[in-house]
Every structure is written in C-alpha cells, then in structure tokens.
Structure 1
Amino acid sequence: MPAAPATFGLLLAGGLARRMGGGDKPLRTIAGRSILAHVIERLAPQCDGLLLNANGDPARFAAYHLPVVADDVPGFAGPLAGILAGLDWLAANRPGADWLVSVAADTPFIPSNLVMRLHAARVAGNVPLACAASDGRTHPVIGLWPTSLRDDLRHALTVEDERKVGHWAARHGVVAVEWPAAPVDPFFNANQPGDLAEAERLHALLGPDRGRARG
C-alpha cells in the first residue's frame, strides 16, 4: 500500500459513560495499564500526532502529555462534536495535515494497520470518508475525516441538530473497511463494568502478538 497522507489521531473521550457508572472509561485499567494507554500505544505509530477530545478538567489527563480539546457545541452533542473539535484544532495548529482519524478512547485493541487501510479504501472507492467494520457491523466513530468538511459538519451539528455519525458521513460518501473479529474483535470497547473482565481475557488471549495488525 502507498504511504498514507499526514494524519492526526483523535481519541474520543468526551462521553458521559453512563453505562459504566460515570467517570472516565479510558482511565479504567486492563493488565495494569489504563485503556487509554493501550489505545495510544497502538495508534501513535500510525499517526503524525495525537490529541484527546474530553470535556471537564483536562488536568486529569496530564500524564499522557496530549493536547486536550473540549467540545465547542454545547450539551454533550455526541462524537460528532468531538470530531468537529478535533478538526478545528487540526486546522488551527497543523495546517499541513488535512486528515484526522478518530477512535473511541475505550477501544484497547485498535489494529496497527487502521490508518493505512482506511486511506487505501477511500481512495479505491473514490469517496472522501472511510470507517471501520467488524463482525458485520460498521463502527462510524472509528473513521477518517478531512478538514475540508469541518464547516459542513458545524452546520449539521448547530443548524440541523444532526447527532448520528453514520447519517452525516453517508451524505458525503463513506466506505466501510472490514477487519476480522476472531480471535479478538479489534474494535471491542469497554462500555459496562463487566466489559473490563472481558477485556482482561481478550488481552491475555492475544498474548505476545497483541501489537500485530490483523486483516
């Protein structure tokens, strides 16, 4: 595959984590390390830099030494608001990088070929957007976004009250890229307290090959 264009990674941690009982899901631990640390380890080598979307006091993430951007659309408008915040930050701070890849910050098994495969698929499909899929399900939050669409996204959020990532992506053209879900779904995310035990099991199952790309 050809090299991907300059792409920044956006870790989405702006949700309310109601099903987990509140707090910051990415700061829960798996194998003695935070979920966020696992995500950073997998995504950082694929990107030209990382930033974190989170609301509230950014100091709680200070140990990760990442820029923290909050939603600028009020009312916890969902992941689209986080993606817009990331695109705005990228346009203001890294004008040479026109692409953002977003991942949920509670997905500890992100594949190490995520960015390359998403870019290759959108080019092959002649569409501006690409998102991940596994086990017959699409994961619209895990996708590529160009800064050229940020004004359209702002309008969708603030004027049209659009909240669904898949709906907004579909209007521009998006291709879903499938990854195998066995032995571990790379897009498994920890939503509920019981998912943490499952994440521990899956981490052990991957063993020494846990950093290897699959698919």
Structure 2
Amino acid sequence: MSMPLGVILAGGRATRMGGGDKGLRTLGEKRIIDHVIDRLRPQCAALAINANGDPARLAEFGLPVLPDSLPDHPGPLAGVLAGLNWAAARGATAIVTAAADTPFFPTNLVARLQQDAGPKGLCLAASHDEDGILRRHPTFGLWPVALRDDLRAALETGMRKIVLWTDQHDAGTALFASEAGDPFFNINTPEDIDTGLQLMGTR
C-alpha cells in the first residue's frame, strides 16, 4: 500500500498553554513538534504543517504551511480539509493527520490506520483510557481525498465535531495498546510538559 501524505495539525489556539504554538515548547532536548516530525516523517511520502498566522515562524522546518481554508478557527476538521486540498493538488489519494502536541504516538500509526480503514478509506486511532474505556483520537486519522468536497460542505453548514462526520462515513477504528501509558498523551498545559518528561524516561 502506498504511503500517504502527512499533515501535522497545529492550528489550535493553545489557550490552556497561555497561547502561542504548543508544538514549539521544549520537551527534553527537542521541541514537541520535532518529536512529532521525527515519528511521522518515516511513515509518510511528504509532510506539511497546518497552522494559522504568520507562516514565517515555522519556516525552519522546511515544510509547507497550510492555513485553514475557512475563517474563525472552526477546529481540527478545517485543518484536515486544508491537508486534503494540499494532497489533491499533489495528486495524492489520502493524508494521515497527527496532532502537533502529541509526541509519543505509535511509529506504526500509518500502517495500522490503513489496515483498519472503513469502506470509504477513513480511519481514526483509538486507545483505552485508565478505566478501560475506548477513546478515539480524532486528530490522528486516515482521510481520503475523495471525501474532501463532502467535508467542505459539512464544515460550511456548521459541522465541527470530527467523530460526527467520520461516523457518517463508516470510519474504521485502529486500536493501539496502552499498557505503557496512553500513546496519544497530548500536552495541553505547562504541567503536562513535566508529565511528558516522565514518560520520556519510561519509553
């Protein structure tokens, strides 16, 4: 199966972190987004970053910076749409997304998403929380370019919740083990950086 394009979702406002780009905060010897790039790059044919504001602040990464194609920060689905538009222009058939604040996601993310995709090629990652409850991680998904017009129409009519749209299209679920901690632990607050450093010591 061919490698999809990868899109790092960094378009949020990071209000719980005090604003700015969460991905540019330091975690160990690298920034959070460096960890994300290092994990996603080997799994994808090419990478881009979905981010709003001045793209010059991300120029050092040498990756295309894709702003939301819809105004007023409508959420991660707008970043997915921006990625699908970029992929369509390159003649690609699918993208995989990863959040810029989640540095420990699985190194076999893409392979598992492709393996467990639903009939339309959609798939979301999932893991079990501390109580054994299944949690989907909708910013980690496989998204076919063929659905971009449908996604654009849904966003224009007010759709914001990812799983509502993916459920309409019979998305598959790729379940990842969480025995060593949630592989989709994300950094939302300054305190989460301390937790992330602890997790780095156990992985």
**TM-score, normalised via structure 1 length:** 0.90
Within the candidate set 101, 108, 111, 1:116 is matched to 111
Within the candidate set 7, 10, 13, 1:10 is matched to 7
Deviating more after overlay: 104-113 vs 181-190 = 181-190
1:185 matches 2:178 = no
Letter in 1 for 2:44: C
Letter in 2 for 1:144: L
**Residue equivalent to 1:62:** 59
Within the candidate set 125, 150, 155, 2:148 is matched to 150
3-state SS of paired residue (1:71): coil
1:36 matches 2:29 = no
Letter in 2 for 1:137: R
**Residue equivalent to 1:212:** none
Give structure 2 stretches of 5+ with no counterpart: 129-133
Within the candidate set 140, 144, 147, 2:138 is matched to 140
Letter in 2 for 1:157: L
Q: Distance in 2 between matches of 1:115 and 1:64?
A: 21
Displacement of 1:164 after TM fit? Answer: 0.6
Say whether the 8 Å CA contact 1:127–1:175 is kept in structure 2: no
Q: Distance in 1 between matches of 2:120 and 2:135?
A: 20
3-state SS of paired residue (1:177): strand
Within the candidate set 75, 82, 85, 1:78 is matched to 75
Q: Distance in 2 between matches of 1:187 and 1:105?
A: 11
Structure 1 residues 132 and 80: CA distance shift in structure 2, 3 A: same
* TM-superposition CA deviations, 1:106-153 (whole Å, max 9, x none): 11001110000110111xx53421110011211111100011000000
Say whether the 8 Å CA contact 1:128–1:172 is kept in structure 2: no
Q: Distance in 2 between matches of 1:5 and 1:192?
A: 36
**TM-score, normalised via structure 2 length:** 0.95
Structure 1 residues 155 and 126: CA distance shift in structure 2, 3 A: closer
**Residue equivalent to 1:105:** 100
Letter in 2 for 1:84: L
Displacement of 1:184 after TM fit? Answer: 2.8
* TM-superposition CA deviations, 1:21-41 (whole Å, max 9, x none): 101000011112000000000
Displacement of 1:72 after TM fit? Answer: 1.2
Letter in 1 for 2:198: R
3-state SS of paired residue (1:11): strand
Letter in 2 for 1:140: P
Within the candidate set 164, 167, 175, 2:164 is matched to 167
Letter in 2 for 1:8: L
- In percent, how many aligned pairs have the same letter? 51
Letter in 2 for 1:128: G
Where does structure 1 differ by over 6 angstroms across 4 or more consecutive aligned residues?
Answer: none
**Residue equivalent to 2:131:** none
Q: Distance in 1 between matches of 2:39 and 2:84?
A: 21
Say whether the 8 Å CA contact 1:118–1:177 is kept in structure 2: yes
